[in-house]
């Protein structure tokens, strides 16, 4: 009788235990990210190999490499000690875009003169960085791999997915940020007086 009573007490104690919640089993796989990164590295290497072969065939120009991952050469250089565009400066420029082999996609007439506030307005990454390398009146040709051009989206019009491009950029005018603010203040004062 005591053993039955002890078993009942033991059963009662065991059955009153709080059930522990089950945790979902998480299997972490970085496979997709690793495969994507590997694919992007291979794509970049292929594009750089094509650009390097084009550059190797071009004996007329001296190519420079930027720290941002593109190569370029000058069509016209400004020897004067003019400043490079800085954050907030207003830059007026024209540009044309062609495929990596030189087949024109957008002409200078298509883009017209563009007024751009350095690092405060949207342009594709390569062009933003390229503008900061040119002084006023300078013109250069830039070879951009797709990752700093229009990437895996393209431009949704003429430039396809993951296409490296070549851009010819001509800086027409640079207005330093402080002068630009003074000009805007003068315009606002003149408008307020009218």
155-160 long-range contacts, CB within 8 A, separation 24+: 158/105, 158/106, 159/97, 159/105
SS3 76: strand
Which of these, 117, 101, 96, 105, lies nearest to 170 by C-alpha position? Answer: 96
Q: How many other CB atoms are there within 10 angstroms of residue 163's CB atom?
A: 20
Domains and CATH numbers, the chain: 63-182 (3.10.50.40)
**What pLDDT is recorded for position 110?**
84
Give residues with Cβ within 8 angstroms of 62, minimum separation 6: 73, 74
At residue 14, the pLDDT reads 66
3-state secondary structure of 73: strand
Q: In the prediction, which pLDDT does 19 show?
A: 67
For residue 16, the model assigns a pLDDT of 62
Q: Which stretches of the chain score pLDDT less than 70?
A: 10-19, 26-29, 179-194
pLDDT for 12? 66
Dihedral of alpha carbons 52, 58, 63, 68, sign: negative
Paired sense of beta strands 90-99 and 104-106, if any: antiparallel
pLDDT in the model for residue 28: 66
Task: Give me the pLDDT at residue 177, please.
Answer: 87
Rounded Cα gap, residues 47 and 147, in angstroms: 10
The whole-number pLDDT of residue 53 equals: 94
Question: In the numeric block, which tokens belong to residue 71?
Answer: 């190569």
């Amino acid at each position: 009788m005591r053993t039955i009573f002890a078993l009942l007490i033991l059963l009662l104690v065991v059955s009153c235990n709080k059930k522990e919640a089950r945790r979902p089993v998480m299997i972490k796989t970085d496979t997709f990210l690793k495969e994507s990164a590997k694919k992007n590295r291979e794509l970049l290497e292929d594009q750089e190999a094509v650009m390097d072969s084009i550059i190797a065939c071009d004996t007329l120009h001296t190519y420079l490499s930027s720290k941002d991952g593109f190569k370029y050469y000058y069509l016209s250089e400004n020897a004067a000690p003019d400043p490079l565009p800085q954050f907030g400066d207003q830059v007026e420029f024209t540009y044309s875009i062609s495929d990596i082999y030189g087949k024109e996609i957008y002409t200078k007439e298509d883009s017209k003169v563009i007024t751009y506030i350095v690092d405060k307005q949207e342009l594709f990454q390569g062009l933003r960085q390229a503008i900061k390398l040119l002084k006023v009146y300078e013109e250069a040709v830039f070879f951009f791999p797709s990752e700093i051009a229009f990437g895996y989206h393209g431009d949704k019009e003429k430039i396809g997915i993951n296409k490296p491009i070549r851009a010819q950029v001509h800086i027409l005018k640079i207005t330093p940020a402080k002068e630009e603010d003074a000009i805007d203040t003068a315009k606002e004062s003149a408008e307020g007086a009218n």
